[in-house]
Amino acid sequence: MTAMTAPLAAPGHIPVMLAEVLRMLAPRDGATYLDGTFGGGGYARAILAAARCTLWAIDRDPAAIRRGEALQAELRAAEGTCRLHMVEGGFGAMRALLDARGAPALDGVVMDLGLSSFQIDEGARGFSFRHDGPLDMRMGDTGPTAADIVNRADESDLADILYQYGEERLSRRVARAIVAARAQAPIRTTARLAEIIRSVVPGDRSGIDPATRSFQGLRIHVNDELGQIRAGLDQALDMLAPGGRLVVVAFHSLEDRLVKQAMHRAAGRLPGPSRHDPRSIQPPEQAPAYRLLTGRTLRPGDAETHANPRARSARLRAIERLPLADQSDTSHAERRS
């Protein structure tokens, strides 16, 4: 146990599947970990409390970095030193971000995808139709906002975004309504956009707000979330030291599909090789360098979803880089360690 004995509360965001994340990561003294999605620091606090380890933490949201700096000050006050290193940026560039700072090979990486409650609940961030605010939706503070997309994109591009990333079946109808509305006046707020969507998408028995899928689609597009996840997973797998573990919590099927594909590919578990996807062809003589720790996804228990309804769609997957003795291809692992 360390001087920081118990996870301190991270008000504003309840960490999802924390017990399962810790069980899969199994933090140990002297090891080095990366939290790719610091958010409210719930995982970070728990990892730092579980072992006398070093933790690197990335977030693209400057507000999350400020929370991390507050945690660094707490650690310094409690322990006289700081085992937490904060890095602002996208986890899709984790290799460059960590290499530039001289971080060693990683004994574990956690990624808790999507938004924090801080982001969802702050109307000014423009993520939610439940809180009126400017139509922003950026996790960081660079790049085009959702308002830029909604007011400038071609109708067919808009429809594609809503269909591909929001899985909105009525995407063409929604895109048409947006283009008609913006011809009258620019769409500037979350409430106005939600009103336009609701005017053409009927509610159903699920009780889910008709604007939900379109908002998800825009958010994913604005933040290039799927591109970040693809790049982040590949780099995390590659940066693991032998015996290191990657633990990922996803919240919807588009995210989880990428996690499943990346982990199954690394563990040599892809279904039969496809002529069309060169990545799926495994040289038969090369044994996989990773093993899956979760067969199917782990899901939160009833008690957790009852206490924290935002956890209900969470799915956890984990994978381990095999210790050197179990690997036939050790080139990268040897290079980094």
Binding-site residue ranges for S-adenosyl-L-methionine: 41-43, 59, 91, 112, 119
Footprint on residues 203-232 left by ligand SAM (CB under 6 A): 228
Nearer to ligand SAM, 41 or 242 (CB): 41
Residue 92 sits in the site that holds ligand SAM (CB under 6 A): yes
Please name the helix (run of DSSP H) or strand (run of DSSP E) that holds residue 134, with its range, or none.
none
Report in angstroms how near the CB of residue 103 gets to ligand SAM at its nearest.
16
Residue 290 sits in the site that holds ligand SAM (CB under 6 A): no
Nearest of 105, 170, 121, 140 to residue 12 by alpha carbon: 121
Nearest of 257, 246, 236, 249 to residue 332 by alpha carbon: 236
Report in angstroms how near the CB of residue 177 gets to ligand SAM at its nearest.
29
Residue 126 sits in the site that holds ligand SAM (CB under 6 A): no
The C-alpha atoms of residue 4 and residue 8 are separated, in whole angstroms, by 9
Nearer to ligand SAM, 13 or 264 (CB): 13
Q: If binding means CB under 6 A, how many residues of this protein chain bind ligand SAM?
A: 23
Estimate the crossing angle of helix 171-184 against helix 190-198, to 10 degrees.
130
Single-letter amino acid code for the residue at 163: Y
Among 7, 27, 108, 114, binds ligand SAM (CB under 6 A): 114
Quick one: CA dihedral 322, 104, 42, 131, positive or negative? negative
Report in angstroms how near the CB of residue 101 gets to ligand SAM at its nearest.
15
Residue with tokens 């971080």: 103
Interaction mask 247-286, ligand SAM, x per CB under 6 A: ----------------------------------------
Among 33, 50, 60, 316, binds ligand SAM (CB under 6 A): 60
Residue 27 sits in the site that holds ligand SAM (CB under 6 A): no
The C-alpha atoms of residue 215 and residue 173 are separated, in whole angstroms, by 15
Nearer to ligand SAM, 303 or 325 (CB): 303
HEC sequence for 250-302: ECCHHHHHHHHHHHHHHCCCCCCCCCCCHHHCCCCCCCCCEEECCCCCECCCH
Among 7, 27, 40, 166, binds ligand SAM (CB under 6 A): 40
Report in angstroms how near the CB of residue 6 gets to ligand SAM at its nearest.
15
Nearer to ligand SAM, 115 or 293 (CB): 115
Footprint on residues 145-164 left by ligand SAM (CB under 6 A): none
Grouping H, G, I as helix, E, B as strand and the rest as coil, residue 39 is: coil
* Interface region with ligand SAM, contact rule CB under 6 A, candidates 85-93, 262-270, 283-291, 321-329: 85-93
What CA–CA distances, in Å, run from 261 to 107, 198, 300?
22, 34, 21
Which DSSP category does 199 fall into?
A: T
> Which residues lie below 8 Å from residue 217, measured CB to CB, with a gap of 6+?
161, 162, 163, 164, 165, 166, 167, 168, 171
Among 59, 168, 256, 320, binds ligand SAM (CB under 6 A): 59
Among 90, 210, 242, 288, binds ligand SAM (CB under 6 A): 90
Which DSSP category does 124 fall into?
A: G
Q: Other CB atoms closer than 10 Å to residue 65's CB: what's the count?
A: 17
Nearer to ligand SAM, 97 or 181 (CB): 97
* Interface region with ligand SAM, contact rule CB under 6 A, candidates 57-65, 195-203, 267-275, 300-308: 57-65
The C-alpha atoms of residue 117 and residue 12 are separated, in whole angstroms, by 6
Chain residues in the site for ligand SAM (CB under 6 A): 10, 13, 15, 37, 39-43, 58-61, 64, 90-92, 112, 114-116, 139, 228
